[in-house]
Amino acid sequence: MLTDQFNRRFTYLRLSITEVCNYRCEYCLPRGYQRGDNVPTPLSLEEIGTLVRAFALSGTRKIRITGGEPTLRKDLPEIIALCKQTPGIREVVMTSNGYRLAPKLATLKKAGLDRINLSVDSLTPAVFEMITGHDRLRDVLDAVDEALALGMPVKLNAVLMRHYNGDELARFTDYLRRRPVTARFIELMETGDNREFFRQQHRPAHLLENWLATNGWRPRARGEDDGPAREFDHPGHAGRVGLIRPYKQGFCDDCNRLRVSSLGDLQLCLFSQGGISLRDALRHDTPEQLSRRLHRLVLGKKAGHGLHRHDPGATRHLAMIGG
């Protein structure tokens, strides 16, 4: 199993399959995706196959497919099926903005998709449009209902912003009253491109934790393979609330995930100083050879990120490697 010098074990891969996104979220790509000159093509299906087999040989059990927006790739069902059919991979999940997703979900589930995370930064249509640049809240909520009808667990991701959705927690908890969905509030993180926006909009997530405690929400015990969210439940609600607090002391202590960008760069941390290209290895090495290389590379992972020092590393925006 991939283990770093701090004895953290990595069983979870976040795999970006494109950095292209069709939204213009204020905290990520406010001017929309800008394609540069001479940008290499994203990983091919064959390269993804080699990568996934190497990670599976290294102890990875869970793969999250991210972007950009992953549904923009026409071969998404094939990518999901490839991941799911790889020996050792137990779970394949995906994060999406939900754009016209509902009609595609049955096909994606048949391909092997186990769970879905949907970006829903507001449950108010006008605010949702203001944040994303699209009047598509109904699309996302239809995708939630369709996923639940298919028996697919759903999580909602909302980036917490002071002047946009800072007062919507009660609206979200009302939504969860009869829906078995987890709504996760993610503390806004500073990146290279959003420094002024971060200064204006950052709201500490512990304020939401105080609200939850006051209103009868109770923290749940963490599972072995849980991600960074601390989850809360309530006896009067079918759904749960999660809080992701990257600025909290000790946030990185139990990190269990690695990232690979759509161009084949291994990112040891979301906010590392740059990626380590695996492209040549993906084209010329066997999965076994690449697995041995991954075991060596993971030893270079640092103890934690530098966000508390206003140092986002080389991360200009979160669409680069899927957040």
Residue 3 pLDDT class (50, 70, 90 cuts):
very high
306 contact partners, CB below 8 Å, separation of at least 6: 271, 312, 313
Amino acid letter, 174: D
Residue 323 pLDDT class (50, 70, 90 cuts):
low
Contact 64, 14 (CB under 8 A): yes
pTM score of the predicted model = 0.92
Quick one: pLDDT at residue 182? 97
DSSP 8-state symbol, 128: H
Residue 260 has pLDDT above 90, yes or no: yes
The enclosing domain of 179 has a CATH number of 3.20.20.70
Domain that holds residue 121: 2-320
Give tens-digit pLDDT for 168-195.
999 999 999 999 999 999 999 888 778 8
Quick one: pLDDT at residue 58? 98
DSSP 39-104: PPPPPPHHHHHHHHHHHHHTT--EEEEESS-GGGSTTHHHHHHHHHHSTT--EEEEEE--TT-GGG
Q: Within a 13 Å sphere around the CA of 144, how many CA atoms are in the beta-carbon half?
A: 24
61 contact partners, CB below 8 Å, separation of at least 6: 11, 12, 88, 89, 90, 91, 225
DSSP 8-state symbol, 310: T
Residue 138 pLDDT class (50, 70, 90 cuts):
very high
* 239 cis-preceded (ω within 30 degrees of 0): no
Residue tagged 């109904």 (tokens): 138
Amino acid letter, 267: Q
Quick one: pLDDT at residue 315? 77
Amino acid letter, 105: L
Domain count, the chain: 1
Taking every pair of C-alpha atoms in the chain, what is the biggest distance, in angstroms?
57
106 contact partners, CB below 8 Å, separation of at least 6: 146, 150
